[in-house]
């Protein structure tokens, strides 16, 4: 029975705490008036007692359904001062309630007893609680709303009122006061004006495992925890100075076993008819479980659930405090925004659970680097922020950035596999009073600049970076619309067989035709598409369009001629997409072509995330009958061993090696070795970037199979090749 009651109490506390959090979130500027009003009503109705939402000037904004028990009409309350409705028994309700509201503006809860009802007065205890805006900092400036709750004088309020009234009126008859006190489960005490115990209720045995009689003559400070001792001393002093108003506060008292328990305490001064202080009376309710619940809610609100690190809200608060300190010391604050390279590919290819494991391991590795006094936070799926106080400006922040990059040189072991996750780091520094959001935006801008340098780099923010980031943002939005508005085009570059001198295939190259006719080269938008994830949608479109073009070119071939193959490049993100096989097969079926008319190629760098998963995807594509090639060979992974493991048909030599043929002896040696190796593995060799007759002659002598480049043709629209799909002479 006791256990059930405790569980019920905790549920009520949790519900009320959630209501307070909901009310605090109503300052969100994105909420419209109707949504804000509905959410306020929902939050108020989570509170069991009659409750009102009150503006900072005392105006009643709304009331919950429980106010009906007091015969209060919402329309009589809304838009009027709290003390204005003609429901209070006293005529000068403003003299009682206005000071309570005033004290709440400083962030302190206040309460008083007041009678409601003009004909049949009913005493109520009205408690006013400040609601804090979680997006603003500084306790003195963050109160956004007030919550007024009205309780009948029962349970705790009745206990406080009865004890206080009994002690006030019957101070000379302490035996009556003690009789009342001994019936309550709360800790009830009488004190000298300096706080020394003169009476302690028997409940102290159950609450703190102390003897009530032995406690008399001691001081509550002796039991207080060091972090709440000053609050206790201040409350005793305040109670001694005030006329009859109670002072309420929360503090911790030591249990006999050495642990500490939380209490909500009200201290009331007891004065004689002349107003002279006789003694103090305290009533303390145990709230340890409630406190634990509140702390749990606070932790959830300000910490990342996955890693346990501070979240963005707590980071902003700590940055604000650090900037305030920097205003005094003029010591720079370094902010490093850390973005994981290759995380999405890992998450898509290995699964969500493995992705979760990866993030926890990343958090552990970063935590080992962070210095005492600094803050490490996770603010997005694969983004972390490290705030470093006391750095020597950008110079000190770069030292930390290099340490982080070095730490990520080692692979992560995930599900028995070694996976490399790099980092790109943007650095912003600030001195003095600054806007944390703006500083984070600056670090984010620098991070994108670092990404353009490649894996494992950092960049420091400057104004040029900011302008570049704004332009990149506009371009990304335009590119997103380009996919939707059919602004993408495919140009094709022919591949020639060096023995027959015939076109045997085409490489499909995407272009972006902006409104107005401007044609954008892929180098100017594909990297952005990779970063933003748009490359997946673009890649789907390219595969489908290439299949449709293959079907169109069929009519130019005689029945005895081999079909012209179209080569399409797969990005790393596509290779990690579990839906890849489905949309490739659908594109082939929709176009009505065979699988030997479309070929797919990947770069060596696309295999760096997770070669095992990439191999599985390529095996499935090969089983569909699709030819596969490795593009730009020689400039990426540079590991010949994977040529044996991957299900490849074609190897394309990168143009950087072809450009030196005939003029650089080393280039000829390297190309000859690559051709011999590929032929030994049964692969067709295609040379890219052929621009001169001399290069073509060397490739022919080295027994290269096919070639493409400007020497034969630049990439052109498909219509340019409609009439030339016949053997060349």
pLDDT (tens digit, 9 = 90+) per residue, 215-262?
999 999 999 999 889 889 988 988 888 766 788 898 999 999 999 999
pLDDT (average), residues 51-75: 84
Where in the chain are the domains? 2-151, 158-294, 303-461, 476-721
Architecture of domain 2-151: 2-Layer Sandwich (3.30)
DSSP-derived 3-state class of residue 651: strand
Share above pLDDT 90 across residues of the chain, in percent, rounded to a whole number: 27
pLDDT tens-place string over residues 138-192: 444 578 888 888 877 654 555 555 555 544 444 444 554 555 556 567 898 999 9
CB atoms within 10 A of CB 691: 14
Task: Name the pLDDT band for 1 (thresholds 50, 70, 90).
Answer: very low
Residue partners of 291: CB distance under 8 A and separation at least 6 = 250, 262
From the list 675, 676, 677, 701, the residue with the least C-alpha distance to 687 is 675
Does the pLDDT of residue 616 top 50, yes or no? Answer: yes
Does the pLDDT of residue 456 top 50, yes or no? Answer: yes
8 A C-beta contact, residue 547 and residue 591:
yes
Q: Which pLDDT score, from 0 to 100, does residue 729 have?
A: 35
DSSP-derived 3-state class of residue 382: coil
Distance CA 394, CA 447 (A): 14
Q: Which pLDDT score, from 0 to 100, does residue 464 have?
A: 57
* More confidently predicted of 518 and 511: 511
Q: Which pLDDT score, from 0 to 100, does residue 463 have?
A: 59
Does the pLDDT of residue 686 top 60, yes or no? Answer: yes
**Cross-strand partners of 303:** 310
Task: Name the pLDDT band for 554 (thresholds 50, 70, 90).
Answer: confident
Average pLDDT, the chain: 82
Least confident of 104-113, 541-550, 703-712: 104-113
Q: Which pLDDT score, from 0 to 100, does residue 271 have?
A: 83
pLDDT tens-place string over residues 466-499: 566 667 777 888 888 888 888 999 999 999 999 9
Does the pLDDT of residue 120 top 50, yes or no? Answer: yes
pLDDT tens-place string over residues 288-308: 887 777 666 666 767 888 888
Distance CA 217, CA 485 (A): 84
Residue partners of 195: CB distance under 8 A and separation at least 6 = 219, 220, 221, 233, 236, 280
Least confident of 216-225, 323-332, 557-566: 557-566
Distance CA 495, CA 684 (A): 12
**CB-count exposure of residue 612 (10 Å: 0-12, 13-18, 19+):** middle
Q: Which residue has the tokens 């925004």?
A: 337
Does the pLDDT of residue 457 top 50, yes or no? Answer: yes
Task: Name the pLDDT band for 557 (thresholds 50, 70, 90).
Answer: low
Catalogue the E-assigned strands of 272-419: 277-286, 333-341, 375-380, 383-389, 412-414, 417-419
Domains 2-151 and 476-721 share a fold: no
Distance CA 726, CA 561 (A): 10
Q: What is the CATH code of the structural domain delimited by 158-294?
A: 3.30.450.20
Architecture of domain 303-461: 2-Layer Sandwich (3.30)
Does the pLDDT of residue 520 top 60, yes or no? Answer: yes
Does the pLDDT of residue 13 top 90, yes or no? Answer: no
Distance CA 232, CA 223 (A): 11
Least confident of 10-24, 408-422, 579-593: 10-24
Task: Name the pLDDT band for 696 (thresholds 50, 70, 90).
Answer: very high
Architecture of domain 476-721: Alpha-Beta Barrel (3.20)
């Amino acid at each position: 029975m006791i256990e059930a009651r405790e569980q019920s109490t905790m549920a009520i506390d949790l519900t009320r705490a959630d209501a307070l959090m909901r009310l605090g979130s109503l300052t969100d500027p994105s909420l419209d008036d109707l949504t804000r009003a509905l959410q306020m009503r929902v939050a108020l109705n989570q509170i069991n007692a009659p409750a009102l939402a009150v503006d900072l000037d005392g105006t009643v904004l709304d009331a919950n359904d429980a106010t009906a028990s007091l015969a209060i009409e919402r329309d009589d309350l809304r838009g009027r001062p709290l003390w204005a409705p003609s429901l209070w028994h006293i005529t000068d309700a403003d003299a009682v309630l206005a000071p309570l509201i005033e004290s709440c503006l400083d962030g302190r809860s206040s309460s008083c007893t007041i009678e409601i009802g003009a004909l049949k007065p009913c005493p109520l205890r009205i408690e006013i609680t400040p609601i804090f805006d979680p997006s603003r900092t500084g306790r003195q400036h963050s109160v956004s709303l007030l919550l007024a709750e009205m309780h009948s004088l029962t349970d705790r309020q009745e206990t406080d009122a009865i004890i206080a009234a009994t002690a006030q009126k019957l101070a000379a008859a302490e035996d009556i006061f003690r009789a009342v006190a001994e019936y309550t489960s709360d800790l009830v005490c009488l004190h000298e004006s300096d706080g020394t115990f003169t009476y302690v209720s028997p409940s102290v045995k159950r609450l703190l495992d102390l003897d009530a009689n032995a406690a008399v003559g001691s001081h509550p400070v002796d039991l207080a925890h060091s972090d709440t001792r000053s609050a206790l001393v201040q409350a005793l002093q305040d109670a001694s100075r005030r006329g009859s108003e109670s002072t309420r506060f929360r503090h911790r008292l030591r249990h006999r076993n050495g642990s500490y328990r939380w209490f909500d305490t009200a201290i009331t001064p007891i004065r004689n008819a002349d107003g002279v202080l006789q003694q103090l009376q305290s009533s303390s309710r145990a709230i340890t479980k409630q406190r634990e619940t509140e702390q749990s809610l606070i932790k959830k609100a300000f910490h990342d659930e996955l890693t346990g690190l501070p979240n963005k809200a707590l980071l902003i608060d700590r940055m604000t405090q650090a900037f305030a300190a920097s205003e005094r010391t003029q010591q720079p604050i370094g902010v490093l925004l850390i973005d994981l390279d290759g995380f999405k590919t890992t998450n898509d290819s290995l699964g969500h659970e493995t992705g979760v494991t990866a993030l926890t391991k990343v958090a552990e590795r970063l935590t080992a680097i962070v210095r005492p006094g600094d803050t490490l936070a996770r603010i997005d799926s694969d983004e972390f922020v490290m705030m470093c106080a006391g750095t020597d400006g950008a110079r000190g922040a770069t030292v930390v950035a290099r340490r982080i990059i070095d730490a990520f040189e080692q692979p992560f072991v995930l599900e028995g596999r070694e996976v490399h996750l790099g980092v790109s780091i943007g650095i912003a520094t600030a001195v003095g009073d600054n806007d944390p959001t703006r500083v984070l935006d600056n670090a984010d801008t620098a991070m994108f600049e670092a990404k353009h340098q490649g894996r494992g780099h950092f960049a420091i923010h400057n104004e040029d970076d900011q302008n570049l980031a704004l332009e990149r943002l506009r371009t990304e939005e335009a590119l997103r619309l380009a996919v939707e508005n059919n602004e993408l085009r495919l140009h094709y570059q022919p591949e020639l067989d060096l023995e027959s001198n015939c076109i045997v295939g085409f490489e499909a190259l995407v272009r972006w035709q902006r409104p107005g006719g401007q044609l954008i080269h892929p180098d100017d938008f594909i990297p952005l598409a990779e970063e933003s994830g748009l490359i997946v949608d673009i890649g789907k479109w390219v595969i489908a369009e290439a299949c449709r073009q293959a079907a169109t070119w069929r009519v130019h071939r005689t029945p005895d001629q081999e079909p012209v193959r179209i080569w399409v490049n797969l990005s790393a993100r596509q290779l990690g997409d579990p839906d890849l096989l489905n949309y490739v097969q659908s594109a082939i079926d929709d176009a009505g072509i065979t699988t030997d008319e479309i070929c797919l190629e990947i770069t060596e760098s696309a295999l760096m995330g997770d070669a095992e998963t990439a191999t599985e995807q390529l095996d499935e594509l090969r089983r569909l009958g699709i030819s596969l090639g490795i593009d730009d060979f020689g400039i990426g992974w540079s590991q010949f061993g994977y040529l044996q493991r991957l299900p490849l048909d074609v190897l394309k030599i990168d143009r950087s090696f072809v450009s030196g043929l005939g003029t650089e002896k080393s280039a000829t040696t390297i190309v000859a070795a690559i051709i011999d190796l590929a032929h030994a593995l049964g692969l067709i060799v295609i040379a890219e970037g052929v621009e001169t007759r001399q290069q073509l002659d060397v490739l022919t002598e080295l027994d290269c199979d096919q070639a493409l480049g400007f020497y034969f043709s630049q990439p052109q629209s498909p219509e340019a090749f409609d009439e030339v799909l016949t053997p060349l002479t």
